[in-house]
Amino acid sequence: MSKKRRDAAAVPPVEPSGGLNRIAIPLRLVDQVEQILRDAIAQGRFTGNRLPTEVDLADQLGVSRETVRRATENLQRDGLLVKFRRKGTFTRSPDIALRAAPASTLLGYLQADYPAGPGEEEAVTRATSGLMLQGALDEAGRSGFELVVRRAPHSQMSKAFQQLSQSARLRGVIFASFGEEKILRQVAGLGLPTVLLDHDLHLPKVSSVRDDSCEGARQAVLHLAGLGHRWIAFANWHRTDLNPWRLMGYRQGLRDCRLPRRRAWELSAEFTPAGAARVVSDLMALSPRPTALLCFHNTLARLVMEEAARHGLQVPADLSLMGCGGEEVPGLTCHQADWFGQGRRAVQILLRAVQGDGNVPPEHELFPYTLRPGQTTAPPRSAAP
């Protein structure tokens, strides 16, 4: 292969609900080399379990020696390679023993939990993670497979996976609400079909299913703008690293409607009564005061509505209020995704990979949001100048 070749393998684009093609993000050259070596290790293609020299690999793959070195270092950290001075680089059995048998019908399902304020974690995950798990269980049962379910703090997912894989002969695994790259690379490198649910990362051979949070928030802003609102605020979850897409959608919606955007209108809160109190307090201190508020989650919208009433703020007369999915709140105008369907689809994608003997390309699917009209939105009392 020529050393001049630098083509990057692109992740197939996924078409979101808005009709625009999702941008294909190319894999880094190091990632491509790493995946080629992972496949070769899994297939036992190195004679005597010894890799060629870095110079020889660089020449075969048409890349620099530095690229090969970085790729092999990643595999060494993952436990797939061991280097001996003056002897070379050798493959070795991974630290995580899978012991998967062709006749196994077991699928792993690991749900990540995150630290939160008192009462917050339950509010964040109760409605969505429960429905996703129900959908996954339903589809696995229909297909003659069984889910082995484990919950663990996100910081202990590697340990949880090791314990699960050592106690069950897994054919594949679903990581729910989790996206730590290092652990997922280790699991995928072992040849175990892997699906991310409620998260995504562009990693080789790792599929993903999640809600289209960006488009859902954008559509919510368009709905409020269609009612005549020009000053629209957003109450975001303080754990912005876990879902950056809703804030992106909120900002994109303002741009699409040519509405003003102010950083002071982007509020941050925990999903607790205290967090909602801070949102309302900050909102009332703003000048000009927004006439509409989009909340990250239906739970936060409910808490904000209760706190607004204590301050004499009427919804929707003084403030239109929308949620972006989660628990069912009677009368709340919100966007809601098919969480049950996402769990089912994750199992369907996983089983295609299981039955494809490692030859099925990864799939990435975004689930759209649908508007559920309620009594918490209305045109503003007077148009903003």
Q: What is the per-residue pLDDT across 301-328, written as a single tens digit (0 to 9) for each?
A: 999 999 999 999 999 999 999 999 888 8
Mean pLDDT computed over every residue of the chain: 84
Domain that holds residue 156: 106-212+338-369
Residue at 64 is within a domain: yes
Cα angle vertex 18, ends 28, 250, to 5°? 80
- Asked whether residue 346 falls in the same domain as residue 202, the answer is yes
One-letter amino acid for residue 300 of the chain: L
For residues 208 and 223, membership in a common domain is answered with no
Single out the residue in 91, 118, 138 at which a domain terminates: 91
Grouping H, G, I as helix, E, B as strand and the rest as coil, residue 335 is strand
CA distance 155 to 112: 9
Q: Given the DSSP bridges, would you call strands 232-237 and 292-295 parallel, antiparallel or unpaired?
A: parallel
- In degrees rounded to 5, what are phi and psi of residue 261? -125, 130
Residue of 79 and 83 predicted with greater confidence: 83
Of the pLDDT bands very low, low, confident and very high (cuts 50, 70, 90), residue 213 is: very high
**Secondary structure (DSSP) of 121-182:** HHHHHHHHHHHHHHHHHHHHHHTT-EEEEEEEEGGGHHHHHHHHHHHS-EEEEEEES---HH
Rounded Cα–Cα distance for residues 129 and 175 (Å): 12
The number of domains in the chain is 3
Q: What is the pLDDT of residue 34?
A: 87
Shared domain for 193 and 237, answered yes or no, is no
Structure tokens at 265: 């209108």
Note whether 235 and 265 are same-domain residues.
Answer: yes
Residues β-bridged to residue 234: 266, 294
In a domain, 134, yes or no: yes
Those residues whose C-beta lies under 8 Å from the C-beta of residue 250, and which sit 6 or more positions away, are 217, 218, 220, 221, 234, 266, 294
- The answer, yes or no, to whether residue 109 has pLDDT greater than 90, is yes
CA distances from 317 to 160, 291, 374, 379 (A): 49, 9, 14, 8
Query: Tens digit of pLDDT for each residue in 53-75?
Result: 989 898 888 889 999 988 888 88
Residue 304 confidence (pLDDT): 96
Rounded CA-CA distance 342/353 in Å is 17
CA dihedral for 142, 145, 149, 154, sign (positive or negative): negative
Question: Where among 40, 57, 91 does a domain terminate?
Answer: 91
Q: CATH number of the domain that 302 lies in?
A: 3.40.50.2300
Q: How many CB atoms lie within 10 A of CB 357?
A: 9
* CA–CA distance, 158 with 180 (Å, rounded to integer): 10
Same domain, yes or no: 220 and 326: yes
Q: In this predicted structure, what is the pLDDT of residue 5?
A: 39
> Do 198 and 137 share a structural domain?
yes
Residue 33 inside a domain? The answer is yes
Return the sign of the alpha-carbon dihedral for residues 339, 368, 178, 266. negative
Q: How far apart are CA 134 and CA 138, in angstroms?
A: 6
Q: Examine residue 380 and state whether it is found in any structural domain, yes or no.
A: no
Q: Are residues 132 and 204 in the same domain?
A: yes
Q: Which position has the token pair 């594949």? A: 172
Q: How many residues does the chain have?
A: 385
Contact 308, 315 (CB under 8 A): yes
**Structural domain includes residue 12:** no
Query: Minimum mean pLDDT among 27-31, 244-248, 260-264: which range?
Result: 27-31
Indicate whether 221 and 261 sit together in one domain.
yes
In the chain, the percentage of residues whose pLDDT exceeds 90 is 49
377 and 332 Cβ atoms separated by less than 8 Å: no
Residue 352 lies in a domain: yes
Q: Indicate whether 258 belongs to any domain.
A: yes
Q: How is residue 10 annotated by DSSP? A: B
Query: Does 40 share its domain with 87?
Result: yes
Which of 293, 317, 336 lies at the terminal end of a domain, its last residue? 336
Residue 24 located in a structural domain = no
Domain harbouring 68, CATH code: 1.10.10.10
If asked whether residues 118 and 217 sit together in one domain, one would say no
Judgement on whether residues 222 and 327 belong to the same structural domain of the protein: yes
Summarize the chain as % helix, strand, coil (round to 5): 40, 20, 40
Sort strands 106-113 and 170-176 into parallel, antiparallel or unpaired: parallel
Judgement on whether residues 204 and 286 belong to the same structural domain of the protein: no
